[in-house]
Amino acid sequence: MCTRNIPDQSHSTHRLSKERLQPTTPATRRPPPVGFSLGVLALGMLGACASSSPPKTSGGDLVSIAAHDFTWHEVRLAQLQPGLNVAFLKGSFTERGPLVYLFSMPAGYQLPMHFHDSDEDLIVLSGNLYIGGMDGRALGKANGVLHRKGDTHRLPAKVNHWALTGDDPVVVEVHSEGPYQMHWVN
């Protein structure tokens, strides 16, 4: 079980803090651990994230992570434009078991058509996110379903979809299962 403080998220930024969202710049974002990277394997995305898992306790499952302690890692893949960041709350892309993470995208970000091997439950924490492509329609606001702050969306495994942010940055909480793979659809 993870608990965290969710601040007022009406600011145009990416990093959560106790007071407000702050821009993700080298000066305000904690650097990723040495050796952290996300890579593409034969058929998808898998994180080499063993060193970036959330804190573990010796006395049980209760873990509290203050919003200002989230460690954001930039996702660098050839299929993606810069700006997608991930923060792990539980599990990792490589570990078997429950996976909970946040991802943030800047305004106007386009996540191309893809699918996952496991179900995903999404909660939009800030901004507006358009999700579509399940019906084969091309990426675009007019072809997607708008999800606002507080909205949820269930993405079944192996269903093609894309995502597009609105005029503000977006932070989404994702619940899934690891190991996690993302497959690109051409």
Count CB-CB contacts under 10 A for residue 136.
9
Q: What is the pLDDT of residue 68?
A: 83
- pLDDT tens across the length of the chain (186 residues): 333 333 333 333 333 333 333 333 333 344 333 322 232 222 233 333 333 445 555 556 677 878 888 899 999 999 999 999 999 999 999 999 999 999 999 999 999 999 999 999 999 999 999 999 999 999 999 999 999 999 999 999 999 999 999 999 999 999 999 999 999 997
| Domain assignment of residue 159, given as a range | 2-184
Q: What is the pLDDT of residue 53?
A: 47
Give how many domains the chain has, as a whole number. Answer: 1
- Per the CB < 8 A criterion, the answer to whether 178 and 91 are in contact is yes
Q: What is the pLDDT of residue 65?
A: 79
Q: Which amino acid is at 84?
A: L
Taking Cα atoms as reference points, which of 92, 61, 89 lies closest to residue 172?
Answer: 89
CA distance 22 to 28: 7
80: domain CATH number is 2.60.120.10
Count of alpha carbons within 13 angstroms of residue 84, beta-carbon side: 18
- What are the tokens at 139? 């990426």
